Structure formats: structure tokens, C-alpha cells
Structure 1
Amino acid sequence: MPVDAVWRVFDDVHLLARCLPGAELTEDLGEDHYGGRARVSVGPIKLSFKGVAHVVAHDRAGQRLRVLAQGQDTGGAQTQADIVLRTEATATGTAMRAEAKVYLTGRIAQFGRALAGDVSRRMFEQFADALREAATSGQAPSGPVKAPSALKLLFAPLIDRIRTALRRGRRTAR
């Protein structure tokens, strides 16, 4: 898909928010500040964050979007995120890179960095799929983009590692 199609989604914050797994934009606070909610489930822990996001850089020419977000769960868990999305035109379409610095406190922080990294990676994969759908159709993804299920989050990294080991084993056996 062309870079311009991706940026048409980035230009529409309401459409962009509909691509984020478990996220919901609830209000426009003005001056690129937005209120919203995000739901995250990891194993037995289910969190519902309420917070704000601020679009601090929206540079279409430089192909860079930066968002600062923070939220708090009713149980006291807190999160802050500094997210940078970059696009680059390629011979076959558009490459998108996402960088996120995420700070967690409370129950969700107890899972450790490895699981938090796996959760983030899976959520960004879902985001990329939803963004592709929105950029292609010009509309929000069909149905809400739900956060990955706890079982998928817990077992997907293990399954990926098993697949990698099996592939290496096949190459070694040849």
C-alpha cells in the first residue's frame, strides 16, 4: 500500500485509534490531546486504563508520528508510553517501524520485561493489520480491534520458539 494511504489514516486520529487493539478514543480535548480507554488482559489480570494521549509530532513530510500517552487502572496500575511510528516508501509499498518506550507500575509490571515485550509485539502486529485494512478501505476495521487473548499472548512466543528450533533442526539434518 502507498505511503499516502497510510498517512491518510495517521491524519485521522479517530480512525487511527480504531486500529489500536483494545483502545477507544472517548474525547477530543483540543490541541492534539485526546482522552480514551484501553483494555489489556494478560492471564488472570484484566486491566482497563483510562488516560490521555498527546500527539506531539505529526510530520507527514518526515514520515514520523510521535504520541505520548499515560493512563491509570482503577486498581492502581499505571502506564506511560512514548510511541514513535515511522513510515518509508519501498519498492513494494510501505514499511512501518514502531518504537515504544513503555513504563509500567502495579500488577501489570509484575509480569516482567520479556512478557511485556511479547504483549507489545503482538499488539503492534494487530495494529499493523488493522492499519493496513483501514488504509486500503479508507474505513475503520470491521468490528473492534480486540486486544490479543491471554492464551495467545502466553503461548505464541513459546510456539514461535518451537517453530524456530524445528526449522534450525531441519537445516542441520540436511
Structure 2
Amino acid sequence: MRLAHEQELDAAQDVVWANFMDLHRIGRCFPGAKVTKVDGDDFVGEIKAKLGPLSMYFDGTGSMVERDESGGRARLTATGQERHGLGRATIDITLKLRPVGTGERTKAHLVTDLVFLGFPMDFGTGLVQRASDPLIERFLTCMSVAGPVPDAEADDDGSLDLVRSATDLFGSFRRDRRERKRR
């Protein structure tokens, strides 16, 4: 499945670029993720996701396979295996940055190709796109902050809460529906 996100960030392109090149920071900025080891452009990490009362842990490896600073383009690939199950995931993320206006702001375009095998959720692309929007918005905002990573608005245990994301999503469907009825 292919997901696309675009956001204008309150930071110059060089700040956002530097943050994306820091593989540890990428792990600290994404809810539930942690990069545990970096060796050049390669990394090892984990992600913890909650699905209701169930917690799922994925261990994985990845690489920054493309870096074009002058073109503002980078590509990262990763694969992960569920620790206590048969789930597997592969992800390919392409980032494109461009300055906005006088260069004090940056437009970030993120395209994610995602494949889940044996994963316990079989949602359509539209649903996943909408559910992922707030997560990617938080991630990109974190990537635009100069200096140390700010404290995340994470759950008590720092995991990615898939039910909360889906609940937020379904709440937005209800609001959209109420607004259409009022018209």
C-alpha cells in the first residue's frame, strides 16, 4: 500500500535535512519506535504497537539507501518481524524537501510504500492513510525541531496505540458526517 503525506514545517531545509540524517532521531520521533544500533547508513530497531489489550513488538533492520542533499531527497528502507507471531512488514520511505518562501520554512513530502504480511489488521488504503495522517504530522513536526528531541506526547509506555489512532479516525468520520447533514 502506498501512503503520501505533505506538510509545511517551521524550520529551514538544512535543519530538517540534518534531523532526517540522524537515524537515532528518526526512531525517537516516531511513536512506539526506537533505533537501538546505527552502523553508518544501516540501523537496527524495534517498534511497539498496541492493538486494544494486545501489544505487538517488531524487531527490524533498515538502511538509508539514498541521500541527495542538494536535491533534498532521501530514501530509507526497513524490514521487521513480529517477535511473538508470524507478522512481517517491509517499508520504503521516500522524503522530498523543498524550501518555502524565504527559506525559513520547508515543505516535506513523504511517500511510504508499506507491506504487511500476517498482520492482524486488514484495512483499506484510504483508512490507513487517514489513520496515519496525525502520526506522520507529529513525526514531521518533531523532525523540524532544532536541538534535542522534545518530549513526545506518547502513551504511558511509549507504544504506538493503533486503537487510539483508529478511534480518533472514526471520531473524525462522525464529525464529517454531522457536518454534511447540517448543510
Counterpart of 1:99, as a letter, is: V
Which of 28, 36, 43 aligns to 2:52? It is 43
Q: Distance in 1 between matches of 2:175 and 2:66?
A: 39
Q: Distance in 1 between matches of 2:52 and 2:128?
A: 12
Runs of 4+, deviation exceeding 6 Å: none
Query: Structure 2 vs 1, CA of residues 79 and 151 (structure 1 numbering), >3 Å: closer, same or farther?
Result: closer
State the one-letter code of the partner of 2:14.
D
Show the counterpart of 2:64. 55
Task: Determine helix, strand or coil for the equivalent of 2:122.
Answer: helix
TM-score, normalized by length of structure 2? 0.79
What is aligned with 1:152? Answer: 164
Q: Which residue of 1 aligns with 2:122?
A: 111
Residue aligning to 1:85: 95
- The alignment-based identity, stated in percent, is 25
Q: 1:69 aligns with which of 71, 78, 82?
A: 78
> 1:168 & 1:38 partners in 2: Cα distance?
38
Gaps of 5+ in 1: none
**Residues 119 and 97 (structure 1), Cα distance of their counterparts in 2 relative to 1, 3 Å cut:** same
Moved more, 8-17 or 62-71: 8-17
SS class of match (2:167): helix
Residues 34-58 of structure 1, C-alpha deviations (whole Å, 9 max, x = no match): 1111111233442111110110012
Query: Which has the larger helix fraction?
Result: 1
Equivalent residues, number: 166
- Are 1:18 and 1:144, in contact at CA under 8 Å, matched by a contact in 2? no
Gaps of 5+ in 2: 1-10
RMSD: 2.2
C-alpha separation between the residues in 2 aligned to 1:26 and 1:11? Answer: 16
Q: Secondary structure at the match of 2:148?
A: coil
2:35 to 25, 40, 52: 25
Q: Deviations over 1:18-49 (max 9, x none)?
A: 11111111112x34111111111233442111
What is the letter of the counterpart of residue 20 of structure 2?
F
Greater shift in the superposed pair: 149-158 or 46-55: 149-158
SS at match of 1:53: strand
Asked if 2 retains the 8 angstrom alpha-carbon contact of 1:40 and 1:46, the reply is yes
What is the rounded CA distance, in whole Å, between the counterparts of 1:62 and 1:157 in structure 2? 34
State the one-letter code of the partner of 1:123: L
Match of 1:97 in 2: 109
Using structure 1 for the length normalisation, give the TM-score: 0.82
Higher relative contact order by CA 8 Å / sep ≥ 6: 1 or 2?
A: 2
